[in-house]
Structure 1
Amino acid sequence: MTNSGLLTPLYGADAVAERLTDEAWIGALLAVEVALSRAAARHGLVAGEDAERVAAAADGLAVDPDALARAAVEGGNPVIPLVRLLREAAGAAGSAVHPGATSQDVMDTALVLLVRGASGPLLGDLRGAADAAAGLAATHRDTPMMARTLAQQALPTTFGLVAAGWAAGLDAAARDLASRVALLPVQFGGAAGTLAGSSPAVADTLAELLGLAPQGVPWHTERTRIGALAGALGVAAGACAKVATDVVLLAQTEVGEVSEGAPGDSSSMPHKRNPIAAVTARASARRAPGLVATLLAAMDHEHQRGAGPWHAEWGTLTDLLATTGGAAARLRTGLAGLKVHPDAMRRNLTTPDPDTGHAAALVSRILDARAGDAR
């Protein structure tokens, strides 16, 4: 998994991974349980003082992640043993824990909270990479270089237009991902998705307390939101990979049109200066399509509760968040310090006096549109 261990900083996943730790999972699960008790109290299903005792018990609850993980094996998810611990800690108010809910309500809503938290640094890095690309576009609006099609020299363009295209793709990916995250709702349907023992009003109040979108109806086995989120994450990783690939190719010794500001070295060849931020951005992005495919394949939840597909989502989605976040973080680092070599670009031109007026005009159009979006 990308979000743990020695390789996390290498792949750029550390900022996102910090939001997806075992402790973060437990905190999100407890936050849902506390909000659920308070929502039930607001609608008279449990006593208000009992809901506050549950909140106090959750605040003081020390949970060993390893022990919880082992206890989760029997029931197939960590909510069951966590509810048991919280009820014991709440004492006489234990009946106010988990009112009208099923484990999936808490797991899904906690996962939405984790996605919301992890999307902060991820979107920040996507937008930061786009800003860096836009800055390169503005600076090199008129810097001529050779465009390449099918990996062969084609016609003159400008580096500004190349970088503006990078910015446009990253901006589009960030906008779509942000909208998908914002639309993720609370989940609350009870044992069979019928809200038996509770009410739609409790679900709406739960969403309000957690700052999430209302669900409309429970979505236990209707997983289009998860599929759409997976797609948006995959597109974002792909947008990062496209830019990183261009940087790797343009930084080749024989081309030499760009270089990273803080290149990596080699253990055996001290003369090398590798575009390692772009390389590791590509490495992170390469993992995304398989994870997206797993989440799309897991959309076929059976009847009113998925028997396996649901369980496959948790680790897959958190890995996808981490690997996409890693790609964005490493790309941002690479673009922020990217050195452009106009002399090499001109040397590689086959046209002595290139006509790049239209390319420069397209840069202006892209940057003007971007500025309008920011307003």
Structure 2
Amino acid sequence: MLKVEGQLALAQAEAGLIPREAAIAINQAALGLEPEPLSLATGTASAGVPVPALVKTLKDGLAPDIARWVHFGATSQDIVDTALVLNCRALIGVYESRLLSVIGMLAQLAEQQRGSLIAGRTRTQQAVPMSFGLKIVTWIDPLLRQHQRLAELRPRLLKIQLGGAVGSLVAMGSNANAVARDLADRLDLRYAPSWHTQRDSLMEFSGWLAMTTGSLGKIAEDWLRMAQTEVGELRFSNGGGSSTMPQKCNPVNAEIMMAMARQNAGLAGQMQQCMLHEHERSGAAWTLEWLVLPQMLMNTGVGLRHCLEGLQHLEISPDRIDANLNSSNGLIYAEAATFALAAFMSRDDASRHVGSACQSVAGSERHLFDVLKELTGRELDLPQIRQDLLCGGASEHWIDESLKNARTLTGSDSSTN
């Protein structure tokens, strides 16, 4: 906020609105000021916004003939909103860096695991074997889209707020537009008309925050289920322990990712309420925004950081993956067996035989393919079926496309890492 006050004074001096000497003094004082937090808290409790107390503190350190030009023609919301945008810009840099790192690490993992079969699961049940690389691609692609969305929303978000009392900037007279454009240039933000009660850009950004943590939450949901003791397909070497159970290796990173996703999902709905401003300014809607948006900003940074940490400590168990594939005595290959048998009989007959075989296998120790051989006289080639499931259909193409997009974005070659 002090940076905005200082740069506003310089822009006003450039337009001839205030004396240049005063502007230089205001900017220097603003850069060096360290306001007392308790003073700002007391002022905020009284005025509902910290700017009046901040301006008073800034003025108190200046000569009266200089102090009179501080905050000239501006309103508190101009300062708070522009400062918020500057902070959002700094955080976007952090988000983008972490997002690219997550994408790059996931792309390496997908390349490493594209030749491994894993149980595909729908509605928590084993469904059909699939390439583990393809499963990882479903983690990557939403993050690629989030990076694209961030680039698209950035110019709509990163703009100055300068409207004065009711958004007309009338107190700055004929110099108003020149001051606004100069302030935008000085802060390296986009020039825009006042948006005091138009919170759609912040709403869009909060949606991005919720979608980003939600995409990370989907990854975490898979990690949590795959790390369950009975599944054991992955674990985290930095897992948290227990105060009383020494065997525990709790997937803390994934848990925190899920918590951030869930809270941001709820807060996104509250941000919708922040768009409901009456007339030219709403103290209630604005205050709610201060309570909601900072928490969402923090949650997003935390979620990305814990995703990076989780990837750095992720350990995959090929043995457990294979054991889970084999745990159903071949039932996971039922769809593949139906299509394989359909080469020798009608699809309806193949489906009927496989359905009957599944009923026989359930609760027994017999393998699906053994029962099918008895029913049809056909011996199915399990290794070939596994290979088809790994590389058939669009799986290879979709993995290639995702990894190509990830490499283009991150500037890395996942195939060599």
> How far does the alpha carbon of each residue in 1:301-343 deviate from its partner, in whole angstroms, 9 at most, with x for none?
1111113101211231111100121111111110122111222
Aligned equivalent of 1:86: 58
Given that residues 131 and 167 in structure 1 are in contact (C-alpha distance below 8 angstroms), is that contact kept between their aligned partners in structure 2? no
Aligned equivalent of 2:89: 116
Given that residues 126 and 329 in structure 1 are in contact (C-alpha distance below 8 angstroms), is that contact kept between their aligned partners in structure 2? no
Amino acid in the other structure paired with 2:133: G
Aligned equivalent of 1:49: 21
Q: 1:71 aligns with which of 37, 40, 43?
A: 43
Correspondence 1:210-225 to 2 at 5 A: 210-215=187-192, 217-225=193-201
How many residues align? The count is 346
Aligned equivalent of 1:160: 133
Aligned equivalent of 2:177: 200
2:236 matches 1:255? no
- SS of the aligned residue for 1:146 comes to strand
**TM-score scaled by structure 2?**
0.80
Deviation at 1:109, TM superposition (A): 0.5
2:390 matches 1:356? yes
> How far does the alpha carbon of each residue in 1:55-104 deviate from its partner, in whole angstroms, 9 at most, with x for none?
12113323111221111222110001111111221222112211221111
Aligned equivalent of 1:321: 297
2:407 matches 1:371? yes
Given that residues 188 and 195 in structure 1 are in contact (C-alpha distance below 8 angstroms), is that contact kept between their aligned partners in structure 2? yes
Aligned equivalent of 1:103: 76
Aligned equivalent of 1:13: none
Which sections of structure 2, spanning at least 5 residues, go unmatched? 334-381, 412-417
Which piece of structure 1 moves more, 61-70 or 98-107?
61-70
Provide the identity percentage.
35
Name the CA distance, whole Å, in 1 between partners of 2:136 and 2:236. 15
Which piece of structure 1 moves more, 198-207 or 242-251?
198-207
Q: 1:267 aligns with which of 243, 247, 250?
A: 243
> How far does the alpha carbon of each residue in 1:219-252 deviate from its partner, in whole angstroms, 9 at most, with x for none?
0001111110111111011011000110011111
> How far does the alpha carbon of each residue in 1:22-61 deviate from its partner, in whole angstroms, 9 at most, with x for none?
xxxxxxx100000100111111101111111001211332
Deviation at 1:277, TM superposition (A): 0.9
Aligned equivalent of 2:319: 343
Deviation at 1:175, TM superposition (A): 3.0
Q: 1:188 aligns with which of 152, 162, 174?
A: 162
Computed over aligned residues only, the root mean square deviation of the Cα atoms, in angstroms, reads 1.5
Given that residues 103 and 406 in structure 2 are in contact (C-alpha distance below 8 angstroms), is that contact kept between their aligned partners in structure 1? no
Aligned equivalent of 1:245: 221
Name the CA distance, whole Å, in 1 between partners of 2:220 and 2:104. 15
Q: 2:10 aligns with which of 4, 23, 38?
A: 38
Cα distance, 1:122–1:66 mapped onto 2, change above 3 Å: farther
Name the CA distance, whole Å, in 2 between partners of 1:232 and 1:152. 31
- SS of the aligned residue for 2:68 comes to helix
> How far does the alpha carbon of each residue in 1:184-228 deviate from its partner, in whole angstroms, 9 at most, with x for none?
21100111101102212211111111111111x110001111110
Which piece of structure 1 moves more, 345-354 or 269-278?
345-354
- SS of the aligned residue for 1:365 comes to helix
Which piece of structure 1 moves more, 89-98 or 270-279?
89-98
The structure with higher relative contact order (CA 8 Å, sep 6+) is 1
Higher helix share: 2
Amino acid in the other structure paired with 1:47: P
- SS of the aligned residue for 1:308 comes to helix
Name the CA distance, whole Å, in 2 between partners of 1:374 and 1:335. 16
Aligned equivalent of 1:281: 257
Cα distance, 1:213–1:98 mapped onto 2, change above 3 Å: same
- SS of the aligned residue for 2:276 comes to coil
Higher-Rg member (1/2): 2
Aligned equivalent of 1:4: none
Given that residues 54 and 93 in structure 1 are in contact (C-alpha distance below 8 angstroms), is that contact kept between their aligned partners in structure 2? yes
2:144 matches 1:171? yes
